[in-house]
């Protein structure tokens, strides 16, 4: 770690409470520990003990249940002192890896209460002092792109905190206990599968603590839970039925098109605004959006104004309920008889939409925030499938297709399910051995 970087990271030093330190943990000389919070919403904590050097070989480890366990035997540690090594061999093994040229990086989900997070921040320098090895630690403090299996913490390390040294993925290792293993002799089933998923996301060789520290043979018995973005079918037609064009076509170049109203129905992050931008904006459609206009009456007024001035428009709101859609239908049928009003229904399911939201937020340089889970649950619990009898001129379905470069698509296909731990009574999951 360069001096410059250490200085940069000194804005919010988190020093271990000196009076509480047991003497064997007291670092020699000045405290070689710095930390700060990163990310647009400061939801990624980064701590540095000593002066880690950039290395192409990285040993990344989950912390709880992998490097340490609470010595009280509780599920969650009581405070920063409530830890012991996962096994007595841990410090020796880590020292050997450091000697062999590996950078040590701890990667931990810590979306707990502020008090637990503070204890975690104080624990890292205690571990650093006990190991007496240079190391870095990342902690995801919220439910966003940093939380495993999301790759925000790893990406930050690779891009900004390895002194510009490119990581050799084949030579590097990620060790974690959240590996999707079932109940097995002497062990409970794993509480989740997020460590294995994160390793898969970034193509890091993955080992469980047993495989890494005890050299146990690779256990093929594991299952990944939840929705796997690799399973999404991007080959369906963009819209169905296909006999109605997405945009009306004039019969001849002399015929002016009559203005129309297109009502979108779809969850947040189902691709509505992207579709508008790609097809409807270039065709001169007015964008009517409640996030911008702030109220439905204002959206209705915007529709009225558009048609009055002979402009087509798109109502780009979620509009899950029939009663909401009826307001636009009634306006058009009463005030502009003969004007077409039709529905485009974005069929993307909830997991897919949550995934899109996380993907967008995780995209470098994106200003978008992860939407709260309630935004999705609210849409889907209110959703009433658009039906012919509602009286619209047509209803078409829009299938979600990811659009981007091959590299972007690969990133889109990463597991991003930070909201979902293994569901209770999950039954059979998906993805076993497939990735
Ligand atoms: Mg763990």
Each residue's pLDDT tens digit, 277-289: 999 999 999 999 9
Q: At CA 192, angle to CA 186 and CA 197, rounded to 5?
A: 120
Q: Measured on CA atoms in the order 334, 340, 346, 347, is the torsion positive or negative?
A: positive
Confidence band for 367, pLDDT divided at 50, 70 and 90: confident
| Cβ contact 206:200 at 8 Å | yes
What pLDDT band is residue 72 in, cutting at 50, 70 and 90? very high
Residue pLDDT, tens place only, 329-348: 999 999 999 999 999 999 99
Per-residue pLDDT band for 216 (boundaries 50, 70, 90) equals very high
Which residue, among 314, 332, 310, 315, has the nearest Cα to 258 in the 3D structure?
310
**Whether the Cβ atoms of residue 361 and residue 269 lie closer than 8 Å to each other:** no
d(CA 99, CA 87): 20
Q: What is the pLDDT of residues 234-292, one digit of tens each?
A: 999 999 999 999 999 877 777 778 999 999 999 999 999 999 999 999 999 999 999 99
- Gap from CA of 64 to ligand 1 centroid (Å): 4
Region 178-193 average pLDDT? 90
Q: Give the pLDDT of residue 418.
A: 67
Confidence band of 46 (pLDDT split at 50, 70, 90) = very high
DSSP three-state, residue 48: strand
The pLDDT of residue 147 is above 80: yes
- Helix H or strand E encompassing 273: helix 272-275
Predicted confidence band of residue 360 (pLDDT cuts 50, 70, 90) = confident
Q: How remote is the CA of residue 133 from the centroid of ligand 1, in Å?
A: 21
Task: Tell me the pTM.
Answer: 0.80
Predicted confidence (pLDDT) at residue 350 exceeds the cutoff of 90: yes
Task: Flag whether pLDDT at 397 surpasses 70.
Answer: yes
Instruction: Give yes or no for a contact between 115 and 105, defined as CB atoms under 8 angstroms apart.
Output: no
- 434 CA → ligand 1 middle, Å: 23
Q: What angle do the packed helices 322-335 and 296-308 form, to 10 degrees?
A: 30
Mean pLDDT confidence for 172-199: 93
Q: Where are the domains of the chain?
A: 3-226, 239-412
Question: Ligand 1 being an ion, which residues bring their Cβ within 5 A of it?
Answer: 62, 64-65, 177
- Rounded to the nearest angstrom, the distance between the alpha carbon of 281 and the centre of ligand 1 is 47
Instruction: Evaluate whether 3-226 and 239-412 have a shared fold.
Output: yes
Percent of the chain with pLDDT over 90: 76
- The domain 239-412 is placed in CATH, from the list 3.40.50.300, 3.40.640.10, 3.40.30.10, 3.40.50.2300, at 3.40.50.300
Residue 428 has pLDDT above 70, yes or no: no
Ligand 1 centre to CA of 66 (Å) is 6
What's the whole-number mean pLDDT along residues 110-127?
95
Model confidence at 184: pLDDT above 90 = no
Q: How far apart are CA 140 and CA 147, in angstroms?
A: 5
* Domain 3-226 coded CATH 3.10.180.10: no
Q: What is the pLDDT of the chain when averaged over all its residues?
A: 88
Q: How far is Cα 174 from Cα 199, in angstroms, rounded to an integer?
A: 6
User: Cα(71)–Cα(1) distance, rounded to whole angstroms?
Assistant: 32
pLDDT for position 229: 93
- 51 alpha carbon to ligand 1 midpoint, in Å? 25
* pLDDT attached to residue 212: 98
């Amino acid at each position: 770690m360069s001096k410059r970087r250490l200085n940069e990271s000194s804005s919010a030093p988190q020093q271990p409470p000196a009076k509480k330190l047991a003497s064997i943990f007291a670092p020699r000389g000045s405290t070689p520990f710095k930390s700060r919070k990163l990310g647009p919403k400061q939801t990624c904590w980064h701590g540095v003990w000593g002066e880690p050097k950039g290395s192409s070989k990285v040993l990344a480890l989950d912390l709880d249940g992998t490097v340490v366990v609470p010595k009280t035997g509780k599920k969650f540690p009581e405070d920063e002192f409530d830890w012991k090594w996962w096994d007595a061999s841990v410090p020796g093994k880590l020292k050997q890896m450091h000697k062999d040229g590996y950078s040590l990086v701890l990667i931990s989900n810590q979306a707990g209460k502020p008090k637990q997070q503070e204890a975690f921040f104080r624990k890292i320098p205690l571990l650093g002092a006990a190991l007496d090895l240079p190391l870095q630690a990342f902690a995801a403090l919220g439910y966003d792109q940093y939380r495993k299996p999301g790759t925000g913490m790893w990406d930050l390390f690779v891009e900004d905190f390895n002194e510009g040294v490119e990581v050799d993925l084949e030579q590097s290792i990620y060790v974690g206990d959240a590996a999707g293993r079932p109940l097995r002799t002497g062990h409970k089933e794993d509480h989740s599968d997020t460590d294995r998923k994160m390793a898969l996301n970034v193509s890091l060789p993955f080992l469980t603590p047993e495989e890494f520290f005890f050299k146990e043979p690779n256990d093929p018995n594991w299952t990944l839970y939840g929705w796997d973005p690799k399973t999404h079918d991007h080959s369906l037609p963009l819209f169905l039925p296909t006999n109605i064009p997405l945009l009306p076509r004039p019969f001849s170049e002399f015929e002016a098109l009559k203005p129309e109203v297109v009502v979108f129905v779809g969850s947040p992050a189902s691709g509505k605004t992207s579709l508008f931008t790609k097809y409807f904006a270039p065709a001169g459609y007015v964008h009517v959006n409640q996030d911008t206009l702030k109220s439905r009456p204002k959206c209705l007024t915007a529709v009225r104004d558009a048609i009055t001035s002979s402009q087509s428009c798109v109502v780009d709101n979620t509009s899950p309920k029939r009663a909401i859609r009826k307001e636009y239908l009634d306006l058009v049928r009463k005030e502009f008889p003969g004007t077409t009003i039709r529905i485009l229904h974005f069929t993307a399911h909830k997991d897919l939409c949550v995934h899109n939201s996380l993907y967008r937020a995780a995209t470098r340089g994106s200003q978008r925030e992860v939407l709260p889970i309630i935004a999705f649950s609210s849409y889907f619990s209110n959703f009433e499938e658009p039906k012919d009898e509602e009286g619209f001129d047509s209803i078409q379905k829009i299938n979600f297709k990811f659009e981007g470069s091959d590299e972007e698509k690969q990133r889109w296909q990463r597991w991003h399910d930070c909201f979902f731990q293994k569901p209770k009574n999950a039954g059979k999951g998906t993805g076993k051995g497939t990735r």
